[in-house]
């Protein structure tokens, strides 16, 4: 669950000297069209990743898939943008496919999640009344 957030931290530590103060965040064809401060991009993608992973701990299998999927989505968005911006001419290329595919990482976590037992689920229902 925490692997995507750790990936953001490690990649930032490795790339921080190479990252510009302002990152290209959107392209129109091959031409940059939007920029944002690097700290803001790091904060937003890191927050999405960490908060989503924290929510996964309180979920059933479907919730784990969704939460960990969003955690991986945040990490992949950071990685794609960071790697694109350390190049001489910023471009995403084929790496843009990583971001939507990263959501599938949630399926791995969901597959490894133990399903709730009927006894445990019944105990939660009676305590909610």
Query: Pick from 4, 92, 107, 1: which is nearest to 46 by CA?
Result: 4
The helix (H) or strand (E) run that includes residue 35 is strand 31-37
Mean pLDDT of 6-18: 90
Segments making up each domain of the chain, as ranges: 1-14+38-114
Q: Where on the phi/psi map is residue 93: left (φ > 0), alpha (ψ -120 to 50), or beta?
A: left
**pLDDT score of 41:** 94
Q: What is the pTM assigned to this prediction?
A: 0.71
Q: Residue 67: which residues within 8 A CB-CB, separation 6 or more?
A: 1, 52, 53, 55, 56, 59, 106
3-state DSSP assignment of residue 76: helix
- Pick the most confident of 21-25, 59-63, 114-118: 21-25
- Pick the most confident of 6-10, 88-92, 96-100, 110-114: 6-10
In this structure, what token pair is assigned to residue 59?
Answer: 């979920």
């Amino acid at each position: 669950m925490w692997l995507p957030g750790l990936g953001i931290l490690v990649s930032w530590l490795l790339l921080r000297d190479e990252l510009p103060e302002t990152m290209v965040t959107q392209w129109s064809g091959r031409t940059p069209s939007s920029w944002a401060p690097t700290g803001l991009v790091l904060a937003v993608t890191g927050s999405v990743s960490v908060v989503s992973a924290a929510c996964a701990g309180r979920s059933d299998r479907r919730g784990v898939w969704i939460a960990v999927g969003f955690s991986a989505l945040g990490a992949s968005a950071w990685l794609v943008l960071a790697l694109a911006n350390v190049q001489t001419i910023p471009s995403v290329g084929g790496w843009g496919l990583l971001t939507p595919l990263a959501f599938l990482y949630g399926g791995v976590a969901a597959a490894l999640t133990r399903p709730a037992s009927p006894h445990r689920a019944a105990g939660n229902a009676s305590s909610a009344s």
